[in-house]
Amino acid sequence: MQDILDSRYSWTRLLLTLAIATVGNVGMWSIIALLPAVQAEFGGGRGEASLPYTLTMAGFALGNLVWGGALDRFGVARALAGAAVMSGIGFALAAVSPSILTLSGAQFVIGLGTAVFFGPLLADVSLWFRRRRGIAVAIAASGNYLAGAIWPVALSGVLDEQGWRAVCWVLAVLVPVVVVPGAQVLRRRVPAESLTAEAQATGLTPRRVPWSPRAMMWLLGLAGIGCCVAMSMPQVHLVAFCVDLGYGPAVGASMLSVMLMGGVASRLISGFVTDKLGGIPTLLIGSIGQMIGLILYLPFDGMVSLYIVSLIFGLSQGGIVPAYAIIVRETMPAREAGARVGFVIMATIVGMALGGWMSGWIYDVSGSYTLAFVNGIAFNLLNIAVMVVILLRTRPGAPSRPASGLAAA
């Protein structure tokens, strides 16, 4: 039964997972495209207008942990169906929200439902692959960026003609109608004999992990907060940044799409790199590239140069978050993949939520995004420092006996 790993069925399942993720992850990106319209209707500063995004990411963070545990217990099909219905309800509540606070509450529900389409779904995909786990997880994770690249542009006509509430009504119907039937095709579960440490191990599995799984999770969580505070500055505020520069929201949305399509390419390339080098080196390469991209935003603010810098940023950072899932799978028990990956992804989303709010607050205090970019660079350095420590303390190679991170709980 071990032949089920990396099988034709595994790849077919992966393609369906990618399609589901591309639809389901719209809940993470919709509020970013709607941010200027929401601010125009409700008023307030940029920090207050960022509150719905922050609550979206808070729900997304919690949902990665909650749905990760549900996936381990009930399987991915039930988790996906339940989360899709929750997302639909959240979008409907957002569409009728009378204030920024009620909209923020609705966005929390949307984030909670959307979470299943990222960390837990990556964990499920990782169980079906061994030799090609890196590229498989990267492909599944690309659904998140494809959603960000496709839906803001696809729904821009609805936004311009009928307003942001109409966009929410469209998504309230779209997500459950597409996801619930598709999820039923993923009901099959990995055979128990394919979940053992020996069946799941690769030549890149660390033979020495000097920390317990719990301590390793906290280290990865700290690193995840650092990299994603940095990552959130351009991703969350790029549209607003372009509006401030006089380029308008349409240019900002297309620039965000360029960044995210670069992220898709980066995730696929990083997947191949992960299968050659392992998760930790891949994450470090991406984090260093991301910091370079952030630095380039400081001196360049012309439209053409911003398109180029946004593409560079996307090509650098796209593989970072999927690498966390691979590191968890390289160092922790396969049977706990949903909960363990969910926890670490939750930490990265906490970083995104914190960074999204911090950037808006820094903008309100300073009057520009310059210090917000500097803040992102500082947090990026924290991520690099933690990952260098982990790299220096672990060594790759198939273990002769289960390492501390691979032992059964």
| Tens digit of each residue's pLDDT (9 = 90 or more) over 335-375 | 777 778 888 888 888 888 788 888 888 988 888 888 999 99
> Does residue 380 register a pLDDT over 90?
yes
Q: Is residue 131 part of a domain?
A: yes
Q: Total structural domains in the chain?
A: 1
Question: Using the 8-state DSSP alphabet, how is residue 209 labeled?
Answer: -
State the pLDDT at residue 407: 36
The residue among 219 and 119 whose pLDDT is bigger is 219
- Kindly compute the dihedral angle of the four CA atoms of residues 120, 123, 124, 130, in this order, to the nearest 10 degrees: 170
Cβ contact 250:33 at 8 Å:
no
Taking residue 322's Cβ as centre, other Cβ atoms within 10 Å add up to 34
Taking residue 11's Cβ as centre, other Cβ atoms within 10 Å add up to 14
Place of tokens 């670069």: 262
Taking residue 249's Cβ as centre, other Cβ atoms within 10 Å add up to 20
Q: Is residue 315 part of a domain?
A: yes
Place of tokens 């809940």: 27
What would the two tokens of residue 214 be? 């719990």
Q: Is residue 191 part of a domain?
A: no
Q: Is residue 406 part of a domain?
A: no
Is 404 exposed, middle or buried (CB count within 10 Å of its CB: 0-12, 13-18, 19+)? middle
> Does residue 280 register a pLDDT over 80?
yes
The Cα–Cα gap between 63 and 108 comes to 10
pLDDT tens for each residue of 40-60:
888 766 566 678 877 888 898
Cβ contact 127:190 at 8 Å:
yes
Nearest to 127 by CA among 197, 64, 61: 197
> Residue 409: which pLDDT band, with cuts at 50, 70 and 90?
very low
Nearest to 375 by CA among 294, 292, 287: 294
Q: Identify the three-state secondary structure at position 246.
A: coil
Tally the residues of the chain.
409
State the pLDDT at residue 296: 92
DSSP for 95-135 reads HT--SHHHHHHHHHHHHHHHGGGTHHHHHHHHHT-STTHHH
Q: Identify the three-state secondary structure at position 11.
A: helix
Q: Is residue 409 part of a domain?
A: no
State the pLDDT at residue 117: 92
CA distances from 384 to 92, 280, 288, 354, 390 (A): 40, 11, 7, 18, 10
Q: Is 300 left (phi over 0), alpha (psi -120 to 50) or beta?
A: beta
Q: Distance from CA of residue 139 to its chain's centroid?
A: 13
Cβ contacts of 214 within 8 Å, gap of 6 or more: none
81-104 core/surface letters (b: 16 or more CB in 10 A; e: else): bbbbebbbbbbbbbbebeebeebb
> Does residue 119 register a pLDDT over 60?
yes
Place of tokens 């992960």: 274
Question: What is the mean pLDDT of the segment spanning 273-295?
Answer: 90
Q: Is 278 left (phi over 0), alpha (psi -120 to 50) or beta?
A: left
The Cα–Cα gap between 276 and 58 comes to 34
The residue among 32 and 363 whose pLDDT is bigger is 363
Q: Is residue 153 part of a domain?
A: yes
CA distances from 26 to 179, 202, 244, 323, 329 (A): 12, 34, 25, 22, 26
Cβ contacts of 367 within 8 Å, gap of 6 or more: none
What's the pTM value of the predicted model, to 2 decimals? Answer: 0.74
Question: Using the 8-state DSSP alphabet, how is residue 211 labeled?
Answer: S
Q: Is residue 87 part of a domain?
A: yes
- Report CA torsion sign: 252, 223, 379, 354: positive
- Residue 396's beta-bridge partner residues? 206
CATH, residue 28 = 1.20.1250.20
Q: Which residue type does 79 have?
A: A
The residue range of the domain holding 310 is 2-183+200-396
State the pLDDT at residue 111: 93
Cβ contact 174:23 at 8 Å:
yes
pLDDT tens for each residue of 294-331:
999 988 888 998 999 999 998 988 888 888 888 887 77
165-197 core/surface letters (b: 16 or more CB in 10 A; e: else): bebbbbbbebbbebbbebbeebeeebeeebebb
- Report CA torsion sign: 18, 24, 28, 33: positive
The Cα–Cα gap between 10 and 140 comes to 12
